[in-house]
Structure 1
Amino acid sequence: MKILLVGATGTIGSAVRNELTLRHEIITAGRNGADIFVDITSPESIKNMYQTVGKVDAVINTAGNVYFGSLSELTLENNEITIQSKLKGQMNLVLLGLNHVNDKGSFTLTTGITMDDPVVGGASAAMACGAIRAFVQSAAIDMPRGIRINNISPTVLEEAIEEYGPAFPGIVPVSGKKVAQAFRKSVEGAQTGQTYTLYC
């Protein structure tokens, strides 16, 4: 398959790339160190990416910024960080990418544990992740040409526990390799409208 991987240089993206590159042609996209530049907060940037890449069999997104902070610090501007990237950015990858994905291809988006297991400071992240899960479930029954769509919802990764661990007290991390298998299942399998959770 020809797979477009957005966010390939991040912790999750790197693990997914390492797993899938063994069997597929991977084209990476992102803001740094990728084959193609894309800023998912910009519809024009997304359009330019798809025009450059052409037709693909699958689109995977592991990118998406979220604001973490207490509710009292969750200003409209801070919340927009999450909305523009994690929420609208992922939805726009699908809406603008439908005509660039081959018949019976797939989209795989990324959510996260905050939508199911709340943590202090995670309200904005939970909002976007929950919305993406609902979008995936609903879009799956309306996707054209047999295209599938799923989302992967991991907890904090072992590889990032030093940086993010304090925000997730008592939560058991998972390995990037295990998370990458869920992305493989989404891309190479046949299910659609699913949320693959990796919470332990």
Structure 2
Amino acid sequence: MKIVLVGGHGTIGKKVAARLSEKAQVLVAGRQKGDVLVDISDSTSITKMFDEIGEVDAIVCTAGEAKWAPFDDLTEEDFYIGIKSKLMGQVNLVRLGQKNLKDGGSFTLTTGILADDPVLQTTSAAMVNGALHSFVLAAALELKKGHRINVVASGLVEDAYERYKDYFPGHNPIPMTKMANAYIRSVFGKGNGEIIRLYD
């Protein structure tokens, strides 16, 4: 089984890559390093990546960024960071990746708790996460060739707790093993159109 993991060098991506590698061949895609390079905010770069890697059994994304700042400080351009990267970047991985995904293959996207339980300074990120949840629910109804799509939405993970804990007062960190298993569930299970929530 061959899986492409976009964002495999990040905090979440590294643990997901290790876990998926126990069961499959994993191609790590990243902006600056990896088995293949890709910038998900650029659809041309996504197309080039798929042309390079050929057919795969699963496409997983743990990449994507959005601007964190007080609402009154966010400009229109700040909102477009999240729209172009985390939202349309993942939408385009699905839209453009269908031709490279084998029959019965799966897409797994990544959002987070902010879609349902936002905290201060996360208006843009929360907006993007919520949009991705709606996208997955709708796209699951129309994918062809037996393709499935799910999204993993985690709370603050253990490995990022010290860095972000002040933003999430009272939140319990999500164990990395539990988080990685959510991706295993999406890739190797049979669920479709699922929002796999890992909240405390």
Q: TM-score range by the shorter chain?
A: over 0.9
Residue equivalent to 2:62: 62
Distance of 1:185 and 1:147 partners within structure 2: 15
1:184-199 mapped onto 2 (5 Å cutoff): 184-199=184-199
Distance of 1:30 and 1:141 partners within structure 2: 29
1:32-58 alpha-carbon deviations (Å, 9 max, x no partner): 331111000000000000000000000
The residue identity in structure 2 corresponding to 1:62 is: T
Residue equivalent to 1:81: 81
1:36-185 mapped onto 2 (5 Å cutoff): 36-185=36-185
Residue equivalent to 2:6: 6
Distance of 1:175 and 1:66 partners within structure 2: 23
Q: How many residues align?
A: 200
Distance of 1:32 and 1:9 partners within structure 2: 10
- What is the percent sequence identity of the aligned residues? 44
How far did residue 105 of structure 1 move?
Answer: 0.1
Structure 2, unpaired ranges of 5+: none
Distance of 1:3 and 1:22 partners within structure 2: 12
SS state at 2:83 partner:
helix
Residue equivalent to 1:31: 31
TM-score by length of 1: 0.98
The residue identity in structure 2 corresponding to 1:10 is: G
SS state at 1:142 partner:
coil
TM-score by length of 2: 0.98
Structure 1, unpaired ranges of 5+: none
